[in-house]
Structure 1
Amino acid sequence: MNAVKGLATFGLLAASVVALAGCSATASASTSTGSAAVEPLVLYAAEGYDSVTAKAFTASTGIPVKVVDDSTGPLLTKIAAERNNPQWSMLWVDGDTAFAALDKQGQLLPYKANAAFNTVGTSILRSDNAYTPTGTTVMAALIYNAAKVSKVPSSYQDLLGSDFTGKVGMNDPSQSGPTYPFIAGLMNQLGGQSGGVAAGESYFTQLKANGLKVFPTNGDTLHALETGQVDYGLIQSSAATGEVVKTKPTAQFQPKIAYLPKSTLLPAVIGIDKGADAVQQAEAKKFIDFALSPAGQAVMLTGDPSGDSLFWPVVDKAPSLKDLPPFPTAYQKIDPAFWGPKQSDVVTWFDTNIK
């Protein structure tokens, strides 16, 4: 399908589905679904398009969805606290490392989605179908203020030099979902699975000594860049692209993006609570299939067009927003089964030693 024509077609689908979503929650909940029981789904999510997708799903199926929207870190903390009494039906956040850890703990229901995945999407799928990708970004994009600086690093090692002292900012992995996979990816790149943690700890210790500044999430790091607290930020590609798209360059602020080798593939992933009852499990499977359908993918592009909607599709022939650059050719995919279970220890170390 031609990309422009495809996007137009998907746009029509999005418009019609969003229009239906304007119906009241009561009307949606009372929509006939045959003789099957209907229960509200509880979606824990940290995606800019989660609410609009949930509304469109309800309009399409009559199944109500309660969205609990927060940053990834607090959501994972909430899930851990609810381990013996889960309150969630689905989790939808960026990064498959967290899902690999939940899978290892036996908390995810396997489901093989009804979708035709492209090459990148297929590479993210697990053999046990424990979770499902819905799109992807990369971590990190280096965004910098070209109105203030002309020096552009070509490697992560460059950031340890005097040209970047006190000028680099990044997100807090205990708050920002994209940031632990970035740290794990850098560890994987520096030392592999055998020595990556130690090599990564050494690198971030040096980066802190060179004046690294840590902010809660993408938005906070971007604000620091806009206000001159830093001149370089290591953030999610969608947030960086959105900043460039929506910013009118001035003499004081001109955001530009570079990618240091290698960026880490960062999929948006959705999983189902294995402890949910049978009705909610069946409904959650329908939600996943909807999100990956042409209508669902179209709606996702409308939810946050200067942020999370700037993702590369993992579904074959699905379009993307026109402002999205080509998918990067130089990227790495880390093993979530290895790095996922290490997340708690690595984040705790970062919080204690780097923040």
Structure 2
Amino acid sequence: MFCARCHREYDAGHRFCPYDGAELAEARRIELLRFKPTRLRGTVLGERYEVCGYIGKGAMARVYLAIERATGQPVAIKVLESFSARAERTRERFVREAQSAAMIGHPNIVKVLDAGTRADDGAPYLVMEYLFGESLGDWLRRERRMDADLALPVLCQAASGLAAAHRAGIIHRDVKPDNIFLVGAQGDPYAVKVLDFGLAKIQAAEHITASGTAVGTIEYMAPEQVVSDLPDPRTDVYGLGVVMFRTFTGVLPFPRAQQSELLARQLVTPPPRPSERRRSIDRPLESVILKAIRKRPENRYPSMEAFIEDLERLAGDRDGPLSAEAPLAAPDDVYVPQGSFARNAAIYFYRRLGMEAPRFSD
């Protein structure tokens, strides 16, 4: 059953939406969904999905609203741009997104329903569940900050989806507000879907990314990503920690700057205290944020599940002291690069900030 007002779905047996009281229907009405005109309207992909409109564009792909002709259900179709489709690594990342999401199968991960290639140009596409709502990035660009009553459940759900990915051996590597989707009408409790596993690394698989290439969004990039060391689940802890910093303060830990300078600060510069950016942030909340964005992975939460436990303590849903208040494993919290390339990269970034690099042992 489907609510035409807030677009939530329910199992059969419900008559009215528990959130807004609207009467439920058996099918979605496509004219109620938000989309823009497109020249591809009426195009049928895979003999199943008819394009109805344009939703938006990412770095490598465009997203369209379509209906599955057999059921009339709306879906979102991500089509790789033609110029990107010609690059082998880009195509591999695109296919990896479908594989990653299918392997996880978690309610806080967007569902990939199907995949195929366009008949005219061979561009690959992914068919995903249609989500009504907006990204956390759009929400923050409009409202700037989110109060704890809204933010802590959102962060817990995003962390739960990422924890499920980690249990499946998948590291997202691009955790940011634009990849956290808030499902539901504004003002209601949000359900969360984590999007875009196109940069994900499956731990048992070989690297797609060329050696020495940093992957991710630099404002949310962990130190190990900056110097191209191997990521692990604590890499996503860092990314979600930066998301948390921005969600509560309205700003990023480090101001936007020239790319090399921003990367250098992610690697070298201690983050400011969130209370310096917003005075109303109390010490427990600040300690959780800072633990997640420590430079050394061993100083962060050891897993996404451990991060969730402290988020639940902040929300009052779990008893016990915050693990964030325990002493650091490595008090200096200076990131130690793991390979020769990483050491040379770290030296460059120290010099970029006019600093002398520590002596990194082999």
> TM over 0.5: same fold?
no
User: Which structure exhibits the higher relative contact order, with contacts defined as CA atoms closer than 8 Å and separated by 6 or more residues?
Assistant: 1
Please report the TM-score for the alignment, with normalisation by the length of structure 2: 0.23
Q: Which has the larger radius of gyration?
A: 2
Please report the TM-score for the alignment, with normalisation by the length of structure 1: 0.24
